[in-house]
């Protein structure tokens, strides 16, 4: 295959991985605070539809992204109120959020299905974008792709270097201890959940404005769940989330280039690959229970009530 094909594969891998990076980093921070939000898929769908609608109607993608983030935050707040304030089961509430998000997005997006939108353009960085090979490889993405890398560095710094990050991790380990020494457990968890919501929202908007610039019902097709699996796969470490996302991006685009490799497998089987890969990867990471015990935030999925 030609160099151009390899460049195209690389570029589409990065493009396909970007929504996973956003969603998984957001969920990573949420889980580090001890909250398991299984509603990523639902928040992504709502982000996708809101980002699309606002983008189409305002003509500004930036507004669309802001609206998508806001929508994700609102969705996550529903989750937060139920699980953090009202003490509902996190697993059940997360599932509810996904089901609700699927219904809500399909409902609001009905009249927008199939409409076109001017998708996110590749940035043109003077000089860099024009470099041979390297320019095409690294400097011709849209802004959200660079944003995802920036987000990675920000999350990495926050969790490992900042005092606030240390407090957040401590709450994820032992909320009752944090409470006893006077840290605001509920407030921090709310913030972490909202951050996850904003990230999922933008991940969704990326799908409907950049990856495939249109709105289709249920268009996230499991990416929210794959993002959840990625966090486990990454053993709750940001760098491994990033690498894992690119791995999955690669698996996703494989089907596009399969024929180029001379594969004649039916397309449905190629489409199964990301899902099958998710299962395989989970098995590899989880087969030693100690890996999970040592890395998973100890209070993950468990509610905390200061008076209980």
Partner 1 sequence: MRLRLEKRAAPSAAMRWAAPLMATLLMLVTGMLILVLLGKAPGDAFRVFFIKPLASVYGIGELLLKTTPLLLCGLGLAIGFRSNVWNIGAEGQLTIGGICGAGVALAFGDTESSWLLPAMLIAGVIGGMLWAAIPALLRTRFNTSEILVSLMLVYIAQLLLGYLVHGPWRDPDGYNFPQSRLFNDWELLPLLWDGVRTNIAFLIALLLAALSWLFTAKTYAGYRMQVAGLAPAAAAYAGFSERRNIWLALLISGATAGLAGIAEVAGPIGQLQPQVSPGYGFAAIIVAFVGRLHPLGILLGSLLMSLLYLGGEQAQIELALPSAITGLFQGLLLFFLLAADLLVNFRITGSAR
Partner 2 sequence: MTDSFPPTTSAATPGSAPRLALRGISKRYPSVVANDAVDLTVQPGEIHALMGENGAGKSTLMKIVYGVTRPDAGTIHWQGEPVTIDSPAKARALGIGMVFQHFSLFETLTVAENIALALDHRAAPSTLDARINEVSERYGLPVDPKRLVHSMSVGERQRVEIVRCLLQAPQLLIMDEPTSVLTPQAVQTLFGTLRRLASEGVSILYISHKLDEIRQLCDTATVLRGGRLAGTATPRLEDDAGLARLMIGSELSPCQLPPKQPGEIMLELTNLNLPSSDPFGTHLQRVDLRVRRGEIVGIAGVSGNGQKELMAALSGECLSPDVGAVRIGGQPVGRLGPAARRRLGLGFVPEERLGRGAVPAMSLSDNALLTGAATAPAMLRHGLVSRRAARDFATGVIAAFNVKCGGESSIASSLSGGNLQKFIVGREVRLDPQVMVAAQPTWGVDVGASQMIRQALIELRNRDVAVLVVSEELDELFAICDRLVVIAQGRLSPSRTPAQTSVEEIGSWMSGGFIAAADAKQEVRDAAAA
Q: Which span (85-93, 105-113, 126-134, 172-180) binds partner 2, by CB under 8 A? A: 172-180
* Residue 248 touching partner 1 (CB under 8 A): no
* Residue 167 touching partner 2 (CB under 8 A): yes
* Residue 3 touching partner 2 (CB under 8 A): no
* Residue 181 touching partner 2 (CB under 8 A): yes
Q: Which residues pair with 122 in a beta bridge?
A: 142
* Residue 29 touching partner 1 (CB under 8 A): no
Give dist(CA 68, CA 50) in Å, integer: 5
Q: What does residue 236 show for φ and ψ, rounded to 5 degrees?
A: 60, 35
The CB-based long-range contact list for 8-11 (8 Å cut-off, 24+ gap) reads 8/257, 9/250, 9/253, 9/257, 10/137, 11/136, 11/137, 11/140, 11/141
* Residue 293 touching partner 2 (CB under 8 A): yes
For residue 91, the minimal CB distance to partner 1 (Å) is 6
* Residue 272 touching partner 2 (CB under 8 A): no
* Residue 77 touching partner 1 (CB under 8 A): no
* Residue 264 touching partner 1 (CB under 8 A): no
Give dist(CA 144, CA 22) in Å, integer: 9
* Residue 240 touching partner 2 (CB under 8 A): no
Cβ-based burial of 46 (10 A; exposed 0-12, middle 13-18, buried ≥19): buried
* Residue 89 touching partner 1 (CB under 8 A): yes
Task: Please answer whether residues 172 and 300 qualify as being in contact, where contact means their C-beta atoms are separated by less than 8 angstroms.
Answer: yes
* Residue 177 touching partner 2 (CB under 8 A): yes
Task: Please answer whether residues 241 and 24 qualify as being in contact, where contact means their C-beta atoms are separated by less than 8 angstroms.
Answer: yes
Cβ-based burial of 197 (10 A; exposed 0-12, middle 13-18, buried ≥19): buried
Size of the site for partner 2 (CB under 8 A): 20
* Residue 287 touching partner 2 (CB under 8 A): no
Task: Please answer whether residues 274 and 251 qualify as being in contact, where contact means their C-beta atoms are separated by less than 8 angstroms.
Answer: yes
Task: Please answer whether residues 84 and 189 qualify as being in contact, where contact means their C-beta atoms are separated by less than 8 angstroms.
Answer: yes
Q: What does residue 205 show for φ and ψ, rounded to 5 degrees?
A: -60, -35
Task: Please answer whether residues 142 and 210 qualify as being in contact, where contact means their C-beta atoms are separated by less than 8 angstroms.
Answer: yes
* Residue 174 touching partner 2 (CB under 8 A): yes
Binding mask 55-84 for partner 2 (x = CB under 8 A): ------------------------------
Residue from the set 128, 133, 164, 279 that interacts with partner 1 by CB under 8 A: 279
Residue from the set 86, 239, 256, 263 that interacts with partner 1 by CB under 8 A: 86
Contacts of partner 2 in 197-226 (CB under 8 A): none
Q: Which residues contact 170 (CB under 8 A, 6 or more apart)?
A: 177, 178, 183
Select the binding partner of residue 133 from partner 1, partner 2, none (C-beta < 5 to 8 A, by kind).
Answer: none
* Residue 183 touching partner 2 (CB under 8 A): yes
Residue from the set 74, 106, 138, 258 that interacts with partner 1 by CB under 8 A: 106
DSSP E strands in 118-162: the ranges are none
**Chain positions contacting partner 2, by CB under 8 A:** 163, 166-167, 169-170, 173-174, 177-183, 289-290, 293-294, 298, 307
């Amino acid at each position: 295959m030609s160099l151009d094909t390899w460049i195209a594969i690389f570029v589409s891998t990065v493009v396909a991985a970007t929504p996973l990076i956003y969603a998984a980093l957001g969920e990573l921070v949420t889980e580090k605070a001890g909250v398991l939000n299984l509603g990523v898929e639902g928040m992504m769908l709502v982000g996708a539809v809101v980002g699309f609608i606002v983008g189409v109607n305002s003509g500004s993608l930036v507004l669309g992204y802001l609206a998508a983030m806001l929508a994700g935050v609102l969705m996550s707040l529903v989750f937060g109120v139920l699980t953090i304030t009202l003490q509902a089961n996190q697993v059940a509430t997360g599932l509810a959020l996904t089901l609700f998000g699927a219904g809500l997005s399909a409902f609001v997006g009905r009249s927008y299905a199939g409409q076109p939108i001017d998708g996110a353009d590749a940035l043109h960085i003077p000089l860099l974008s024009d470099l041979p090979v390297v320019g095409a490889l690294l400097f011709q993405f849209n802004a959200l792709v660079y944003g995802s890398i920036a987000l990675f560095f920000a999350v990495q710094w926050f969790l490992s270097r900042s005092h606030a990050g240390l407090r957040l991790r401590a709450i994820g380990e032992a909320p009752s201890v944090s409470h006893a020494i006077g840290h605001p457990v509920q407030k921090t968890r709310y913030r972490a959940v909202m951050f996850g919501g904003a990230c999922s929202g933008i991940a969704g908007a990326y799908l409907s404005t950049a990856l495939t610039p249109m709105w289709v019902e249920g268009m996230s097709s499991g990416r929210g769940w794959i993002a959840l699996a990625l966090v486990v796969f990454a053993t709750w470490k940001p760098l491994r989330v990033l690498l894992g996302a690119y791995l999955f991006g690669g698996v996703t685009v494989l089907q596009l280039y399969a024929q180029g490799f001379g594969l004649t497998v039916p397309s449905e089987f190629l489409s199964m690959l990301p899902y099958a890969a998710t299962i395989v990867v989970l098995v590899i990471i989880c087969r030693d229970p100690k890996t999970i015990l040592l890395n998973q935030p100890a209070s993950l999925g468990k509610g905390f009530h200061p008076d209980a």
